[in-house]
Amino acid sequence: MTLYCTSNIFQLSRMDTLPTVAPDIIARLRSGDEAAFATVYASYYHQLCYFVGSIVKCRHTAEEVVQDVLTKVWLHRAQIDPDKPFAHWVRTIARNATFDHLKKIARDRSLQNEVWHAVQFHKGQPADSAIHFKEYHRLYQQAISILPPQQQKVFTLSRTHALTHDEIALELGISANTVRNHMAAALVAVRRYFKTHAGCWLPLLLVLICS
């Protein structure tokens, strides 16, 4: 089976606009028809690359992740449920593959450096990963410091102490639902702070997974 690479991935629509593939094509793919797979590949490749690229900020990495996603579509084609939206199944595989890559970044210093360089290139600034990580971490601490007290407690217990929502609820004497609400509000506030002071929110994601 041959995989086909294309380019210009950052000029296309978001992944939530994946095109509809005809049911007969999906049925043929499920039965192992390589021509049907080639049709799906050509239909989805660009949008998937745009989605992954918007997160990892690196064309080469995005293409590698998407190759992996579409390979999984082929290898796990027997799992396709004809009664459920095919695009949703592919989106789930793509999201999982992207987050798996981010977890690899958290474990691999060379990958961290690669992404920091990509972020700085995206912002048009010189790339020095160590310096910029310190700056982003400082912004992260500042963002937390201006949260309302209860949000700050919830956020810190979750991100710094790795407590679950139920554990935080027990610790603070509040309901798990209240914890979820505080956490959601805190994440919105911290992300907004990063967009205002760092120019984009991707560095926040890297601080969260690398700290």
Residues 34-89 have pLDDT tens digits of 999 999 999 999 889 888 887 776 777 788 889 989 999 999 999 999 888 898 89
CATH class of 110-210: mainly alpha
pLDDT above 60 for 204 = no
- In 3-state terms the chain splits into helix, strand, coil percentages (rounded to 5) of 75, 0, 25
Determine whether domain 9-107 maps to CATH 1.10.1740.10.
yes
State residue 12's pLDDT score.
Answer: 34
CA separation, residue 17 to residues 43, 79, 91, 97 (Å): 11, 22, 10, 19
Lowest-confidence range among 102-106, 139-143, 170-174? 102-106
Tokens representing 11 are 């000029």
Report how many helices (DSSP H) and strands (DSSP E) the chain contains, helices first. Answer: 10, 0
Report percent pLDDT > 70 for the chain.
Answer: 68
Rounded Cα distance, 194 and 99, in Å: 20
Tokens representing 159 are 């991100």
Report percent pLDDT > 90 for the chain.
Answer: 29
Q: Minimal CA–CA distance to 181: which of 146, 208, 155?
A: 155
Domain with CATH 1.10.1740.10 in the chain: 9-107
pLDDT above 70 for 124 = no
Domain with CATH 1.10.10.10 in the chain: 110-210
Residues 6 or more apart whose Cβ sits within 8 Å of residue 36: 25, 26, 28, 29
Backbone angles phi, psi at 78, to 5 degrees: -65, -20
- The answer to whether 129 and 108 have CB atoms below 8 angstroms apart is no
CA separation, residue 88 to residues 78, 96, 142 (Å): 16, 12, 38
pLDDT band at 101 (very low <50, low <70, confident <90, very high): confident
Q: Minimal CA–CA distance to 189: which of 146, 139, 137?
A: 146
pLDDT above 50 for 210 = no
Once rounded to an integer, what is the mean pLDDT over residues 127-137? Answer: 55
3-state secondary structure of 175: coil
Q: pLDDT digits over 17-39, tens only?
A: 678 889 999 999 999 999 999 99
Residues 6 or more apart whose Cβ sits within 8 Å of residue 207: 133, 136, 137, 140
Mean pLDDT of the chain: 75
